[in-house]
């Protein structure tokens, strides 16, 4: 093998090594990007309860619009759950100053 052939062969090996290194780096970066997104999607949504005081002009619908956004059900389901928790009948209204228990949802884990 002549000197020129060895130089050409060496350049090819260096080029292949650089190409392989770039591919490995690319796969590692993409792997971390997709694994972090997958982890975010698997976080569990936790359900908690808290007491709130009804303010003037509030309704179960306005409360549901504020707190039910992360629930899995509809606003109507949320209102029915609040009614059930607080023993509020279908035809019964809430009033200013009344305290009720409402469910809320969070990804944070609280004890």
pLDDT at 41: 54
- Three-state SS for 101? strand
Instruction: Show me where the domains of the chain are located.
Output: 1-42, 46-106
Strand 46-53 with 99-106, pairing: antiparallel
Q: What is the pLDDT of residue 21?
A: 94
Has this prediction a pTM greater than 0.95?
A: no
103 strand-pairing partners: 49
pLDDT in 10s for each residue of the chain, 111 residues: 788 888 889 999 999 999 999 999 998 988 888 775 555 556 788 889 999 999 999 999 999 998 887 777 889 999 999 999 999 998 888 999 999 999 988 888 776
Fold of the 46-106 domain: Membrane-bound Lytic Murein Transglycosylase D; Chain A (3.10.350)
From CA 98, how far away is CA 51, in angstroms rounded? 10
């Amino acid at each position: 093998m002549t000197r020129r052939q060895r130089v050409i062969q060496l350049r090819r090996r260096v080029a292949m090594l650089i190409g392989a290194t770039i591919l490995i780096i690319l796969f590692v970066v993409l792997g971390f990007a997709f694994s972090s997104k997958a982890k975010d999607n698997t976080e569990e949504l936790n359900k908690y309860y808290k007491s709130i005081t009804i303010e003037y002009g509030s309704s179960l619908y306005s409360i549901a619009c504020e707190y039910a956004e992360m629930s899995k059900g509809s606003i109507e389901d949320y209102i029915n759950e609040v009614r059930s928790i607080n023993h509020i009948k279908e035809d019964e209204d809430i009033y200013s100053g009344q305290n009720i228990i409402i469910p809320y949802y969070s990804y944070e884990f609280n004890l």
